[in-house]
Structure 1
Amino acid sequence: MTAELVRGQNHPLSQTRLEIRVSAGTPVVTVAALGDEDGRIHGTEWVAHPGAPTRPGLEVSRQAAADHRLAVDLDALADTVHRVGVLLALPAPADGPGPARFGAVAAPFVAVTALDGTEAASYTITGLEAETAVIALELYRRQGAWKVRAVGQGYAGGLAELFTDQALPQAQQLADSIGEAVTRGLARSVQAPPSRPADGDRSRRPATAAPAHHPDQGPGPVPQDTPGPAPQGAAGPVPPAYDGRPAGPPGQGGPQPAYPAGAADPPAAAATGGPIDYSHPRRRSTAPPPPPPAAPPAPPGQPARPVAGDATGWSMEERLYNQVWGMFEDLARTTAAYRSAVDFAESRMDKELEQTLSDPRSRISGRADAAREAARARQAQLVERAREALDRDLAQLVAEAEVVEPALPPAYARWDNPVWHAYRVPMEIPMALRLGDLRLPEADGIRIPMLLRLPLERGLWIDSGRTGALDEPFTDTHDMRRLAVETAVNHAARLLAVHPAGEFTVHVVDPAGSGAPSLLPLTHSGVLAAPPARGAAGVAEVLGRLTQRVDLVQMALRGGAADALPPGFDPSQQLLVVNDFPHGFDDRAVNQLRYLADEGPAAGVHLMLVADREEAAGYGPLLDPLWRSLLRLTPVADSHLADPWVGHAWTYEPPLVPPGSEVLQQVLARVAEARRTRHP
């Protein structure tokens, strides 16, 4: 059970390999500082920061972002290290006004999780005003065991003042070097994607259940330079986001949602502390968006009739996107209220029974049986009331889903939606892409679309190994691998379908040719840039070409010559689908793949990995950063994603083409025809 800490409170840690997830209302810099038994930082080599992101047992983010995931291996720390401080700081605005203090943005939220996403402790850092740097958490060793303490100590003078207070002699120099590293990191990035809109107008209908966790915990928006919900987050929803199997950290969120994380991208107040900004990311107008359509009047005493697109937004696409987010949060919170009520009823009954049985006189008389029956009756009554409230909320959500699902555009729609039969190659990139559905066990009849913002900011990992899903005992290893490749094909087809003609290119690496049957929809339709690469030589050629592309884009941007790329340079977004990793990969190829996963999205090169993590175990911890950087998805239904509000374990269902349907082939045929028309 998650411990929600307040300032000064501590909590024991049962594991030593951890991930620390940060969600803020604006891009922040994360730093991890090691300290001795007295808390002293002995030198700059005891600090992990964007300029030196890895230290023994530590790994932090390389640049400023609103969502971060810090990897910590307490067993790998030196014996002289007794403390690990997690520090947050606001970066100096590089190109215009930005938040100058933490008091002007949403309260940062920090969570300590196990590698499987299980949250051990969380802390919302409230009460900050003029501070620009803060010690968020401290992991400390006490009598051979590790604990986490919520600190929340802020410094108006930034990291320099913080390091000085920690008695670090090179405080100012280290703070300056961190600032320079953040600036270099921003310079290495291609133009940042537009800021994400908030996740729906949740004031559209009255709340029917109180949140089970911090009511002011609202996570910040997903950063422009990292993925999320998604979903952790995640999703990354968060955020997104690591959401994979043990050994590494929503996408991705946390546990991070895939929403987006993926599951998600939570709302937050503007950097100035004002209201949530629902403006379309591609618009620059300061005028407010048009109001959503009004719902038809409902009969007296009945809830309002749902309307597709009743959230705020500039277009119907944006309104539907925000409405899906509102449904996602509504279901998360109402389920949290139900679970909290059930837990309260159970604990109240246990307490009453304990009080009854603690009296010897009641145990030898008939009063004990009567007390037990009365306690169970009260517990059943509380649970029944909670279920009635949940059913009422679920009925409203079901009614809303019934009007929203048919209204979704192709990028948001399931493969069985009739909108795909009228598919035409779009003229512009949509806001988001549907990666599947999310559901909770209490509401099995409701599926929430899992939407991932475009352009992709994080690679995808289709897990072909054993995930622990309930239906896996009926799926052998061969079928799991086949399903994983088919899932990758479905995702790649969607990405091709939602981009304008010629603006998205797909490369496939299949070293042993094991995925050839499942890849037929892509190979036969002619939408691939080239036939799937085979063998070690094919792997080396494709990776070398895409690595060179990333290098060229980065050099052009660093030199301020983004328009000076070589003649014939393909400006389209690139997707590399790798099947059966690590087969056919030597050490050089593995390093190139890691490079593409880290630096590729900023240069328009994205990764989709079909792999079983256990088969790559021979590389040891070398690949841990790779798995953490990817949003893990499964080819079968599996409960491995979490929302950013209350951390429910959501069941992810991949997007499947209905049996016997030709919709995938029809869509790919139109994409191929549009490509030929554009490039005859």
Structure 2
Amino acid sequence: MTAELVRGQNHALPRTRLEIRVSAGGPVVAGATLGDEHGTVAGAEWVAHPGAPRLPGVEVLRQTSAGHRLAVDLDALPAAVHRVGVLLALLPGTGGPARFGELAAPSVAVTGVDGTEIARYTITGLDAEAAVVALELYRRQDAWKVRAVGQGYASGLPALLADQGLHQSHELAASIHTAAAGTGTPEAAGSPGPDGPPHAAAATGTIDYGHPARRSGPAATSAHDEHLLPHSPGPGDGPEPASVGGTGATTDGRISYAHPRRQASAPPPAAPDEPARPVAGDATGWSMEERLYNQVWGMFEDLARTAASYRSAVDFADLRMEQELDRVLSDPRSRIGSAGDQGREAARAKRDELVDRAREAFERDIAQLAAESEVVEPALPAAFARWDNPVWQAYQVPTEAPMALRIGDLHLPERTALRIPMLVRLPLERGLWIDAGRSGSDAAALMDAEQLHGLALETAAALAARLLAIHPPGAYTVRVIDPAGSAAVAFAQLTASGALSEPLATGAQGPGAVLEGLTRRVDLLQMAARGNAADALPPGLDPGEQLLIVNDFPHGFDDRTVNRLRYIADEGPSVGVHLMMVADREEAATYGPVLDPLWRSLLRLSPVPDDHLADPWVGHTWTYEPILPPRGSEVLGQVLGQVAGDRWPWG
């Protein structure tokens, strides 16, 4: 089964002799770079391109073409090589397209040498870029994986090569262009390695769910039919330097997410019989924040897959026992007596042996994931951290927005103590719905409607406080619609601290006025974006992100305000207006199916533990739990005080 990758996602490679097949809408140059564990390419001799098509373990075509086949033998790569980057570039000065936006989106497939497709990635969203890193094959703990990168460079091949650590990037890019322009008839790239052409590998069609081969890219979950796909890192013309060894700001003014407990140097190697020792931030990424983000999602995927492997092994053991018992019972001569008893005991013994072996492997994987969690959790930045993380005690108002937000924790029934942070990319492309109704979970069944609604409001307030705290001053605004005034207690800390720019909108007129203002804001920003007329916006229009929290929907809403709410939910995210609803869907049933698209467009969260999320790989039902400040803790008040002080320094 082919894995269809999205930007930032990765996939395990079940074999080491591969082909990278490129299909583009026009002639492109294809090449490959060999990098170390940090992705740095030591020199021009580690770049395979039309002028030097063969390197140990890699071979590329000698010319420009709309279709390429790169041959890769991972076992033949030098020991110092940990990453193989597949790059595509347009050839300037030939009359062809100067940017990828003029071509159909390139598609890159990783296949076995027999043509069996393992993974495919279509590089969408390219515009002014003239060169792009399409894929990255990388090694981690002696296992190889492929990651969809899609990192584009408007400045072309020189910028791409410089980003990989090559100092003479312009000279090398010029030699690549010269070599590609001077080639003639296309020739197929042969398979590398001294042993001749590789043998054809049989396609098993199975997916390897084994650990510790880590998936370092973002993962995805779905809430029933609601997909929770986090954003991928956007293209740029250079990496952000990772900061390690301390907290505070880097020399160029950016925030360092390094935690005092994190080791700045590599840990000592583990003994041969021991698993590799976990390290915080050992996933791929341009910055420490991105590496931690990718590592968290890798842990989520690993837990999903190792649990799937265990469940599948138990199911197989049960099925095999049933088949053997059927054979024993189908023969009247062995149905009774000692022969029948022995047959039944033997079948159960085989079943227990298979289950014990599966459980042993599962416990080993879980132990490694738990050890990784213990290392990663204290190293997380504030946007990813629980409220009891020490990073909040040393909180400082940030100078730039984070890439993601932690909205809760996830766990599986096989190991409820192992919590995986649930991260969503920022800015929010989907609104959030805090379900204040009876969801059918065991925790909800023990509470009355008032308790559930109170917890839902508390969850919404905690998420709003976190969003305010992780954005620079003035870059994020929270507005609350509360027709019945029931949210006053839950939002008391935000109101009293001054973190909210406006008081809660209550009464019959408040919601309509707020929705009218936000609708107008969305209209103006959309018109300005379409007409490329940002300078024509009214003076004083807040350019920052805005979050609208709606409580007690549909109480106090008429048809006009409902239509405005739906409009903001659909069109708001494109111009920085996001929606969070605290509502019971059953109470909104009076509007009929007209609101069904609204509910489907929002990511449902529960204020109590609830197993309503499913991952897209194996369909596990995950239990989601919100993260709230510890009872009696003053951390939230201290953080909000700093947020308000930086927002209103004269107050």
TM-score (norm 1): 0.63
Q: Does the CA-based 8 Å contact 1:200-1:322 persist in structure 2? A: no
Q: Which residue of 2 aligns with 1:491?
A: 463
> Are the structure 2 counterparts of residues 129 and 416 from structure 1 closer, same or farther at C-alpha, using a change threshold of 3 Å?
closer
Match of 1:396 among 357, 365, 368: 368
Report the alpha carbon displacement of residue 652 of structure 1 after superposing the two structures with TM: 0.7
Q: Of residues 182, 193, 203 in structure 1, which corresponds to 2:140?
A: 203
What CA distance in whole angstroms lies between the structure 2 residues aligned with 1:643 and 1:203?
A: 24
Distance 1:486 1:453 in 2: 22
Query: Which residue pairs with 1:104 in the alignment?
Result: 108
Equivalence for 1:551: 523
Q: Which runs of 5+ in 2 are unaligned?
A: 9-96, 145-203, 210-216, 245-263
Cα separation, 2, equivalents of 1:646 and 1:414:
27
Could you tell me which amino acid in structure 1 is paired with residue 613 of structure 2? L
Q: Is the 8 A contact 1:199 1:323 kept in 2?
A: no
Offset at residue 98 of structure 1 (A): 7.5
Any residues of structure 2 matched to 1:48-127 within 5 Å, and which? 96-97=100-101, 100=104, 104=108
2:489 matched residue in structure 1:
517
Aligned to 1:422, the other structure's residue is in SS state coil
Q: How does 1:286-297 map to 2 (within 5 A)?
A: 294-297=266-269
Equivalent residue of 2:508, what SS?
Answer: helix
Match of 1:316 in 2: 288
Correspondence for 2:174 = none
What is aligned with 1:73? none
Q: How does 1:648-667 map to 2 (within 5 A)?
A: 648-667=620-639
Deviation per residue, 1:478-508 (Å, 9 max, x gap): 1000000000000000000000001000100
* Contact 1:465–1:612, Cα closer than 8 Å, also in 2: yes
Instruction: Provide the rounded CA distance (Å) in 1 between the counterparts of 2:289 and 2:120.
Output: 37
Q: Is the 8 A contact 1:639 1:650 kept in 2?
A: yes
Query: Could you tell me which residue of structure 2 aligns to residue 14 of structure 1?
Result: none
Query: What is the CA–CA distance in structure 1 between the aligned matches of 2:325 and 2:594, rounded to whole Å?
Result: 53
In structure 1, the residue matched to 2:207 is: 215
CA distance in 1, matches of 2:136, 2:556: 42
- 1:489–1:519 Cα contact (<8 Å) kept: yes
Deviates more, 1:367-376 or 1:290-299: 290-299
What is the alpha-carbon root mean square deviation over aligned residues? 3.9
Secondary structure of 2:509 counterpart: helix
Counterpart pick for 1:646 among 603, 607, 618: 618
Structure 1 residue 655 displacement after superposition: 0.7
- Aligned to 1:341, which of 296, 313, 320? 313
1:326 aligns with 2:326: no
Equivalent pairs counted in the alignment come to 472
1:147-186 superposed Cα distances (whole Å, 9 cap, x missing partner) = xxxxxxxxxxxxxxxxxxxxxxxxxxxxxxxxxxx99xx9
Deviations 1:353-392 (A, max 9, x none): 1122122222243322221111111111100000000111
Q: Give SS of 1:622's match.
A: helix
Conserved in 1, the CA contact under 8 Å of 2:432 and 2:581? Answer: yes
For 1:508, what is the secondary structure of its paired residue?
A: strand
Match of 1:500 in 2: 472
Using the TM superposition, give the Cα deviation of residue 339 of structure 1 relative to its aligned residue in structure 2, in angstroms.
0.7
* 2:324 equivalent in structure 1: 352
CA offsets 1:223-246 (integer angstroms, 9 cap, x no match) = xxxxxxxx9xxxx943x44x26xx
Alignment partner of 2:278: what SS?
coil
Give yes or no for the alignment of 1:417 onto 2:421.
no
One-letter amino acid matched to 2:422: M
Q: Conserved in 1, the CA contact under 8 Å of 2:243 and 2:288?
A: no
**Deviation for aligned residue 1:295:** 3.7
Q: Secondary structure at the match of 2:408?
A: strand
Q: Distance in 1 between matches of 2:133 and 2:400?
A: 17
Match of 1:530 in 2: 502
Residues 286 and 451 from structure 1, CA distance in 2 versus in 1: closer, same or farther, beyond 3 angstroms? closer
Q: 1:214 to 1:293 in 2, by over 3 A?
A: farther
Measured in 2, the distance between the counterparts of 1:450 and 1:200 equals 26
User: Unaligned 5+ residue runs, structure 1?
Assistant: 7-21, 28-92, 108-124, 133-181, 218-230, 253-260, 267-279
CA contact (8 A) 2:240 2:287 kept: no
2:399, 2:434 → 1: CA distance?
29
* CA–CA separation in structure 2 for the residues paired with 1:542 and 1:369: 76
* Matched residue, 1:382: 354
Q: Deviations over 1:285-339 (max 9, x none)?
A: 2899999963421123111111111112222211111111111111111111111
Distance 1:216 1:299 in 2: 25
Percent of matched pairs sharing the same residue = 59
Greater Rg by CA: 2
Asked whether the equivalents of residues 497 and 671 of structure 1 are also in contact (C-alpha less than 8 Å), the reply is yes
Query: Aligned letter for 2:268?
Result: P
- The answer to whether the aligner puts 1:622 opposite 2:594 as a matched pair is yes
Q: How far off its partner does 1:565 sit?
A: 0.9
The aligned runs of 1:536-615 (5 Å cut-off) are 536-615=508-587
1:301 to 269, 273, 286: 273
Corresponding letter in the other structure for 1:441:
P
Quote how far apart the aligned CAs of 1:668 are.
0.8
Q: Is the 8 A contact 1:201 1:322 kept in 2?
A: no
Q: d(CA) in 2 for partners of 1:637 and 1:199? A: 38
Q: Which moved more, 1:395-404 or 1:282-291?
A: 282-291
CA distance in structure 2 between the partners assigned to 1:654 and 1:199 by the alignment: 35
* Matches of 2:422 and 2:120, distance apart in 1: 36
Match of 1:479 among 451, 455, 460: 451
Q: Deviations over 1:502-558 (max 9, x none)?
A: 100010000101122112112111111211111231111000000000000011111
Question: 1: CA distance between counterparts of 2:577 and 2:136?
Answer: 27
Q: With a CA cutoff of 8 Å and minimum separation of 6, indicate the structure with the bigger relative contact order.
A: 1
Query: Does residue 1:466 correspond to 2:448, yes or no?
Result: no
Using the TM superposition, name which of 665-674 and 365-374 deviates more: 365-374
Structure 1 Cα separation of the partners of residues 459 and 314 of structure 2 = 37
Q: Please tell me whether residue 285 in structure 1 is matched to residue 289 in structure 2.
A: no
Deviation at 1:618, TM superposition (A): 1.4
- 8 Å contact kept, 2:550–2:582: yes
